[in-house]
Structure 1
Amino acid sequence: MNATARYRDFFHGMFTWISGLSEAENASTLDDIHRFWAADARIITAGHVRAAGIEELRKHFGIYPQQYEEVEIREPYYTYLESGDEVVIEYDILIRGRRHEDAVGDEGTGRQEFRVIAIFSITDGRISEMRQVSGVRAGDA
């Protein structure tokens, strides 16, 4: 295994799991969350804590079947960098909501694409923190 990409398979698995959460039979369970996330893990978006700890992560991922018809995290990533137990990934995520009204720039499909830059901290083989920023893709290359 390439020492500079030791977590690549881990993130492929985690993003595949997230992409499947919009299907009701794949609703997040604590076992699924524990596979990828530490018990005290945090998700921070644009400087705001969105989830802290397993119970909040379960609630965060638990909304996917109700809110999203489709979630796709696109590979290959634009950027994938590892430094020790820190991983930086830049990727696109496509989201189609269950309600198709009022989505900006989606031409009535309810489908939006976002560019995300995320910095992950890994502790004992699980994500202990995810810091991310994102923006709507509006025709950028």
Structure 2
Amino acid sequence: MDANVRYRDFFHGMYTWISGLSDAENHGTLDEIHRFWAADARIVTCGQVKASGIEELRKHFGIYPQQYEEVEIREPFHTYLDSGDEVVIEYDILIRGRQHEGAADEGDAQRQEFRVIAIFSVTDGRISEMRQVTAVKAGDA
């Protein structure tokens, strides 16, 4: 196995799992959180801790069915660097919010696209930390 891509399949599976969380019919998906995330894992976005520990991760990912109609992590990734137990991935993510009762039909106004650079630490085959920065895509390629 090429040492430079040893976690590629793992991250493809993790992002496929995340993309499926917005499907309200997918009730059991949160139970799979342990497959990808360590019990004490953290998500840090733009310098702020968004989730720390499995219960906060559960809450973080638990909002997907309520808030998002669609979450799509685009592959192939723009950048994929695998060095030991550190992985850097640059990718685009498309998010479409759910229409709420009483909201005007906004069509694509609920659709947002972001560029993300994420640095992962992997411990014992699970993500122990995800540090990411995001920016709204504004017509860049």
TM-score computed with the length of structure 1 as normaliser? 0.92
Separation of aligned partners in 1, 2:59 and 2:131: 18
The answer on 1:34 being equivalent to 2:34 is yes
Residues 59-98 of structure 1 mapped to structure 2, 5 A cutoff: 59-98=59-98
Aligned to 1:6: 6
Distance 1:63 1:45, change over 3 A: same
Which runs of at least 4 in structure 1 moved beyond 6 Å after TM superposition?
none
The structural deviation recorded for 1:24 is 1.2
Q: Is the 8 A contact 2:22 2:64 kept in 1?
A: yes
Gaps of 5+ in 1: none
The alignment partner of 1:140 has SS state of coil
Q: Is the 8 A contact 2:41 2:128 kept in 1?
A: yes
The structural deviation recorded for 1:47 is 0.4
Separation of aligned partners in 1, 2:68 and 2:30: 20
The amino acid that maps onto 2:117 is I
Aligned to 1:50: 50
The structural deviation recorded for 1:111 is 0.8
Separation of aligned partners in 1, 2:21 and 2:37: 15
Q: Is the 8 A contact 2:17 2:29 kept in 1?
A: no
Question: C-alpha root-mean-square deviation of aligned residues, in Å?
Answer: 1.7
Separation of aligned partners in 1, 2:111 and 2:48: 25
Gaps of 5+ in 2: none
The amino acid that maps onto 1:55 is E
Separation of aligned partners in 1, 2:91 and 2:73: 7
TM-score computed with the length of structure 2 as normaliser? 0.92
Q: Please give the per-residue CA displacement for 1:40-93, whole angstroms capped at 9, x wherever unaligned.
A: 000000000000000000000000000000000000000000110000000000
Separation of aligned partners in 1, 2:116 and 2:28: 22
Q: Is the 8 A contact 1:119 1:130 kept in 2?
A: yes
- Report the count of equivalent residues: 137
Distance 1:12 1:72, change over 3 A: same
